[in-house]
Structure 1
Amino acid sequence: MNKVILVAHGKLAHEMKNSAEMIFGELPDFQSIEFLKEEGLDSVQQKVLAAMTEPAANYLVLTDLFCGTPYNASCAVAMKNSQRDIEVVSGMSLPIVLEAASMLQSHSLAEIVKHVTTVAVDTVKSFKDQQVEEEEDF
């Protein structure tokens, strides 16, 4: 069974989950963790570990910034719990959260990670670049 934990600065993770639920409906296998400015690496690690309540579950942890405190804390938890299937991916965005939600129960954790890291490039678009590409097609 796969589960997702969203971890980000401020209330971003909570709002990301809320936004995804506007599209998908309730996401019971998703949890969100906020990182507040008065907190440190240790407190975020404790929150991430506390969110991993099901020993048999595989966990995909999506964080906002590569090498930010949520990412570093999540990686530390994954390294300390190497016997568990825990994947940490940075660059959380609504398209990535939606991709993970759509694949969560039908794919392995490794397949989800490979897919979201591959499609991440396709989720960032520049209007001007798209406009030029469309003009060139004519």
Structure 2
Amino acid sequence: MANVILVAHGRLAVEMKHSLEMIFGTADRFYPVAFDQQDGLESLEEKLSNVLNQTTGETLILADLFCGTPYNASCSLAMKEPKKNIQVLSGMSLPLVLEIASLIETLPINEIVCIVKKMAEETVQSFSGKIEEEEEEEDF
């Protein structure tokens, strides 16, 4: 079975899991890792490695920011563990976490990554943009 490690600055990953469970229910295969102010790249990578060593199966690591320390530590760990199937994505958001939770039991990680990357474009919406789209549709 696949696992998901959520990693982010501060307590975002911990609170993301709490939000996921408010909406989705228990999410036992999701593991939050906090990047605290006193942490550095190496200590965060150690935290990630400790979580990874407690799990079996393929793993998706979802980080908050592309090229931020949580993302970089995740990529470093994935490179050091080539025999483990680890995928790393950035851009953590609640819609993406919910989508991953809905797919994690039925699809392999590589397929989930493809779906989530396509979905990411649709998760950022503008209120004024929606109004303009509706006005254009009414003109027809």
If the TM-score is normalised by the length of the shorter chain, which range does it land in? over 0.9
Instruction: Could you tell me which runs of 5 or more consecutive residues in structure 1 were left unpaired when the two chains were aligned.
Output: none
Question: In structure 1, what is the equivalent of residue 71 of structure 2?
Answer: 71
Matches within 5 A, 1:107-126: 107-126=107-126
> Which secondary structure state, in structure 2, belongs to the residue aligned with residue 107 of structure 1?
coil
Matches of 1:29 and 1:76, distance apart in 2 = 22
The reply to whether residue 91 of structure 1 matches residue 91 of structure 2 is: yes
Structure 2 partner of 1:59: 59
SS at match of 1:122: helix
Measured in 2, the distance between the counterparts of 1:57 and 1:99 equals: 19
1:49, distance to aligned residue in structure 2 (A): 0.7
| Secondary structure at 1:60 match in 2 | strand
Give, in whole Å, the separation in 2 of the partners of 1:105 and 1:2.
7
Q: What SS does the corresponding residue of 1:37 show, helix, strand or coil?
A: coil
RMSD: 0.6
Do structure 1's residue 132 and structure 2's residue 132 form an aligned pair?
yes
1:10-89 to 2 correspondences below 5 Å: 10-52=10-52, 53-54=54-55, 56-89=56-89
CA deviation vs aligned residue, 1:100-126 (integer Å, no higher than 9, x gap): 000001001101000111100000000
Work out the CA distance in 2 between the residues paired with 1:134 and 1:27. 37
For 1:106, the equivalent position in structure 2 comes to 106
Deviation at 1:38, TM superposition (A): 1.1
Q: CA deviation at 1:86?
A: 0.2
Specify every segment of 5 or more residues in structure 2 that has no aligned partner in the other structure, as ranges: none
Give the TM-score normalised by structure 2.
0.96
The ranges of structure 1 where at least 4 consecutive aligned residues each deviate by more than 3 angstroms after the TM superposition are none
**How many aligned positions are there?**
137
Amino acid at match of 1:112: I
Taking structure 1 as the reference length, the TM-score comes to: 0.98
